[in-house]
Every structure is written in C-alpha cells, then in structure tokens.
Amino acid sequence: MRVVGIGARRGVSAQEVLAAVDAVGGPVDLVATLDRRAAEPGLRDAVALRGWTLSAHAATELDGVSTPTTSARVRAAVGTESVAEAAALVGGGELVVPRTVHGRVTVAVVLR
C-alpha cells in the first residue's frame, strides 16, 4: 500500500494538492493528513477528484510518530513537529519519499 502524507497551508487549492502529489509520482492508495487539514476544501476536492481515501489524524497522534524531519514552526502552528511524514508513517511502513515541499503543500510517501 502506498500512503501519501500531506501537509498544507490553509486555503490551499485542489490544483496545488494534485500538483504536489503528481510531482512525487506513483499510485496513491491512501492520503493521510492532520485532522484539521482534512476539512480544507482544496484537499477534500483533490481527494474526491481522484477517488482517493482520506485518513485524518489528531496532532497528538502525529506527535508520537518518529520522523526524520521536524519543524518547530509547524509545532507552534499545529501542535506536532511533522505533518506529512508523520501522517504517512502513522500506520507503519517505510518512508520512500521524505518530506518534499511544493509551494503551499508538503508531501511524503510511505510503502506499507
């Protein structure tokens, strides 16, 4: 299973999300993100357009996941040091694409 973790700024568009996911290539079996970002219309629209499954996780859950990349700025903003990598890794697996920033969207990919 290929899981794409997504972190995004508020107000991100579906086109921005799709461009970021397309940039890392490969199929998508599951999209995982922070619960408060899962409500973003742009992210929800991107998921719906592609028929992906969306998994949302609380900051406290993501904060317990060990990731190679952390950010104090992200922790101050959302309560966890990692969103994209942690969301992708929350169910286990191997990080095959570490956090990659594409404008207002950050993606990471895990194989389970």
C-alpha angle 102-92-26 in degrees, rounded to nearest 5: 40
Residue 28 CA to residue 99 CA, distance in Å, equals 16
Query: pTM of this prediction?
Result: 0.96
HSE toward the beta carbon, residue 100, CA cutoff 13 A: 18
The predicted-structure confidence for 55-96, as pLDDT tens digits, reads as follows 999 999 999 999 999 999 999 999 999 999 999 999 999 999
The CB density around residue 91, as the number of other CB atoms within 10 Å, is 15
Structural class in CATH, domain 2-111: alpha beta
> What residues contact 2, with CB distance under 8 A and at least 6 apart?
26, 27, 28, 29, 30, 109, 110, 111, 112
**Domain chopping of the chain, boundaries:** 2-111
One-letter identity of residue 92: G
State the chain's mean pLDDT as an integer. Answer: 97
Give the pLDDT confidence score for residue 42 in this predicted structure: 98
